[in-house]
Structure 1
């Protein structure tokens, strides 16, 4: 069962309107409507509140909805890519600016080189 169908069935089982459900988890009525029509998905914080409200685990809420799982996986992948990119920049900066008064500071340069190479490896591996 898709999440949209599941949330609607859970709400109706409790005889709640969309507005009542929205009020219980401090969101707008429109958000509940989007979830129930499949035009949107709750974020992880709202999924936790929904699970608590209906006494369900996150697994029970989303296990059957492959589209929701894919969307959440993509969000995590985007954050990982950003982290790897930031690691790349830090590595580059350490390599570039690891000298002081004409002296090369080898430790930050080596750390920067390791960070730079590792970030390229991680970015390439997780495309």
Structure 2
């Protein structure tokens, strides 16, 4: 884990004003463990690395991702930002589809524009608190269901919240899905993985992983997540969201392509007018404007630009 875990654990413990003994007692009480102050000390001094089950307990206790706990700061920050942003988008779309609603039908139910629903589901914008309350009330779900995705989320009575998205996969099932999704055989995966990270695993070893007969150690699990460009939490079944970072990178690439392929000045101006910062500056509401109205505004600005540009020639 590149010596990340021990420093993260100590920082988290201190930030929560816990002694090593208090943290051990908290973990023992909540997860029925038998940890000691000495064990926590070994973790924090990088003399011992916890197994995967214990890592999950620690991540759940501090309400953080495994990626934050085990990965480098930059990667954890990037993954956390993308994944957190995607929770609401993913959950809203799933709720809408589960209730057999189109974006247009849902927009009427919530008294918002059709464009607003599309932007929420694409992660481009988020609703205000009043609208979020409307969504939660309409679908009869909790805020946690809408905004978060944890395999284990306890309510005030330490009972699993029934509104939480649950997963019944095991790590081996996720690895098998990822191998198949990437068009690889187990043999091909072994060869590429060994070449990339310097391992000497056999196909038989990978077969044990994907059939849940054996679980990789945490260092290797982090590398498997890196290999497939997914979060460690996805591999460990702590989230059901397809956390393939390329999905989000693709949307950014698509936006960049749009910026470079305008057929008219009006199209370029229309793209600029659709940016939140420009809309806020101009005092107009994107959610209540159609594409035709924005294009009409772009035409007006193009006419004004012709006049202004004479001065600066």
TM-score, normalisation: structure 1:
0.50
Higher relative contact order (CA closer than 8 Å, sequence separation 6+): 1
> Which of the two has higher C-alpha Rg?
2
TM-score, normalisation: structure 2:
0.21
